[in-house]
Amino acid sequence: MKRWLLLSLPLLILAGCQSSQSALETHGPSARHLGDLIWLFSGVATVIWLLVVLVMLVALARLPKHAAEGRAERDARMKPVVIAAVIATAVIVTGLTVASYFTTRAIGEPREAVLDITVRGQQWWWQFLYSDPGAGGFETANELHVPVGKPVRLRLESPDVIHSFWVPSLAGKMDLIPGRTNVLTIRADRPGVYRGQCAEFCGIQHGHMSLFVIAEPVEKYEAWAALQRSAAAVPDDADALAGRTVFLSKPCAACHTVRGTEAKGKTGPDLTHVGGRGTIAAGTLDNTRGGMAAWIADPQTVKPGNNMPLVTLAPEELRQISAYMESLK
């Protein structure tokens, strides 16, 4: 699982499984319904524009021939055209309204889900809490793993401000509103990495609040989930082991959880398996040892305004704690 996302991206691209953040590149039923509606609206608008331009050109070409024509004659000649345009407008608007209604109904129909995940929008990162009564739940951040071809129910919550969950290749937008739980069901029809974004301005770092939905075959997903349920292993590398001691002795342990240690903080992301994620700080940095060290050393320079305080570390401590974070697979 070492840097799974970063190592797998080139392979996914070559295999045609890498998805861009586009509502027109659809890989789920909800996204397909919305994509069809977009194409319908765009097609109708294009035809209308072309007809308007054509009528304008015809009118300009015939203008000299009717310059001397009286107003009454012009009004009589144009009356059927105006009536036809009004009827056509009513038909088009009604048709698009009906299409929108059936699309909304299709994507809003309740579906049985094999997995329930609570999604919490934080300032400015994503918290994912997997609920699995049979095998035990676990928590991750910013990277949402789902099994391919299986409907997944997302329960959207926010403890602070309004956020909006949007992975355009899989589904439409859904807001996360404080004091309310909204429900969105997604399904990825093929393996891939689907980029998402907070689509509601939520503060200074709104633009740096991305997420990745990683769709895997069922067997790979189950193996990943089993790993996530396990506690963090004690590192066998000297630097990482020393970093574990530094982490537990500093304020880091008061804000973050690393299962299997005394660190049980709930303010920041769960770091039990942070070394296996492709990015950190909600997609702001690649999850390399250097990127991790830069983030720990000065989080406010990397992402101004975030809630992670500056913890003073000696160079040796920074090297050791970054090694420990890298070891948490």
Three-class SS state of 119 = strand
Residue 2: is its pLDDT beyond 70?
Answer: no
% of the chain residues with pLDDT over 70: 89
Q: pLDDT value at position 202?
A: 94
Q: Is 83 exposed, middle or buried (0-12, 13-18, 19+ CB in 10 A)?
A: exposed
Where does the pLDDT of residue 305 fall: very low under 50, low under 70, confident under 90, or very high at 90 and above? Answer: very high
Whole-number pLDDT of residue 264? 93
Per-residue pLDDT band for 1 (boundaries 50, 70, 90) equals: very low
pLDDT of residue 272: 95
Read off the tokens for 63: 């203008």
267 contacts 307 by C-beta, under 8 angstroms: yes
Look-up of token digits 């859904």: 174
Range from 9-18, 177-186, 252-261, 283-292 carrying the lowest mean pLDDT: 9-18
Confidence of residue 112 (pLDDT cuts 50, 70, 90): confident
CA distance 59 to 53: 10
- The reported pLDDT for the residue numbered 66 is 61
**Model confidence at 98, in pLDDT bands (50, 70, 90)?**
very high
**Cα(38)–Cα(26) distance, integer angstroms:** 12
Q: In terms of Cα–Cα distance, which of 268, 269, 263 is closest to 244?
A: 263
> In the prediction, which pLDDT does 55 show?
86
Among 10-24, 124-138, 187-201, 296-310, the least confident range: 10-24
Query: Residues 35-39: contacts with CB within 8 Å, 24+ apart?
Result: 36/103, 37/99, 37/100, 37/103
What span, in angstroms and rounded, lies between the C-alpha atoms of 170 and 146? 12
Least confident piece of the model among 10-19, 33-42, 102-111, 116-125: 10-19
Amino acid 24: pLDDT: 85
> How much is the pLDDT for 277?
94
Q: How confident is the model at residue 64 (pLDDT cuts 50, 70, 90)?
A: low
Q: Which has the minimum average pLDDT: 8-22, 110-124, 149-163, 228-242?
A: 8-22
The model's confidence at residue 67, banded by pLDDT at 50, 70 and 90, is low
In this prediction, residue 11 carries a pLDDT of 36
- Asked whether residue 75 carries a pLDDT value surpassing 80, the answer given is no
pLDDT value at residue 23: 85
Question: Rounded distance, CA 219 to CA 221, Å?
Answer: 5
Q: Which two tokens stand for residue 167?
A: 């992975």
pLDDT value of residue 134? 61
CATH topology of domain 238-327: Immunoglobulin-like (2.60.40)
The backbone region for 48, taken as left when phi is positive above 0, alpha when psi lies in -120 to 50, beta otherwise, is alpha
Q: What's residue 105's pLDDT?
A: 86
Which band of pLDDT confidence, cut at 50, 70 and 90, is reported for residue 133?
A: low
Of the candidates 219, 247, 222, 212, the residue with the CA atom closest to the CA atom of residue 232: 247
Q: Give yes or no for residue 69 having a pLDDT over 90.
A: no
Q: In this structure, are residues 119 and 128 in contact, taking their beta carbons and an 8 Å threshold?
A: yes
What fold, for 115-229? Immunoglobulin-like (2.60.40)
Does residue 7 register a pLDDT over 80? no
pLDDT-derived band at 220, boundaries 50, 70, 90: very high
Q: Mean pLDDT over residues 190-203, rounded?
A: 94
Averaged pLDDT score across all residues of the chain: 88
pLDDT grade for 9, boundaries at 50, 70 and 90: very low
- Measured distance CA(169)–CA(18) in Å, rounded: 11
- For the entire predicted model, the pTM comes to 0.83
129: three-class secondary structure by DSSP? strand
